Amino acid sequence: MDNNNLEQITFGGGCFWCVESCFNMLKGVKSAISGYSGGHKDNPTYEEVCTGETGHAEVVQITYDPAMISYEQLMDVFFFLHDPTQLNRQGNDIGTQYRSVIYYKDDAEKAKAAEAIEVSKQSGRWQGTYVTELTKFDKFWPAEQYHQGYYNENPTQPYCSAVVGPKIQKFKKHFGELGMLNEE
């Protein structure tokens, strides 16, 4: 991995525990960090974000090597991992903090994100109107340390075993067959 040419992308697709775990398995991803973006409060806590009153979304900030994994491939994974037609929710996780959102840094990245949404729509993977927001990136606040790698540390926690685990298994099967995962 060429640490001099790394890029970052930040997006939200529901609970960050699953999204972060999956992205950390991909070849070309140096790190996926759970955190918060899009709100009006500096240094928000998980408890504050969960109220829905800070305006933040649960997000994952991914640092990756574009020579090893493309922006388009990352977007394909993003749209695989969550339902972009559910407004302010993913399954039973309800609230604006679970919204589908892509944070872009400049007009070129905004155009690539808009194109990725169209590609996903054309794939037919999800039926319904896409509600994924395209929002100018402002700040990223890392989540508390106990959220980082949460699924790996807590696979038997009820939410993890019932919701996150099955989603990760589906992800591993699909992207493993494509040869996109790191060796375990």
Backbone angles phi, psi at 180, to 5 degrees: -95, 0
- Written as six digits, the tokens of 148 are 């980082």
- Of the listed 15, 18, 22, 160, which one is catalytic? 15
- In order of 59, 82, 88, 132, 141, the CA distances from 34 in angstroms are 6, 16, 18, 19, 9
Helix (H, G, I), strand (E, B) or coil at 181: strand
Instruction: Please indicate whether residue 160 is annotated as part of the active site.
Output: no
Give the span between the Cα atoms of 156 and 151, in whole angstroms.
9
Question: Who's near 2: CB < 8 A, 6+ residues apart?
Answer: 65, 67
CB-based contact 111:143 (threshold 8 Å): no
- In order of 17, 99, 111, 136, the CA distances from 107 in angstroms are 29, 22, 6, 9
| Catalytic residue positions, numbered | 15
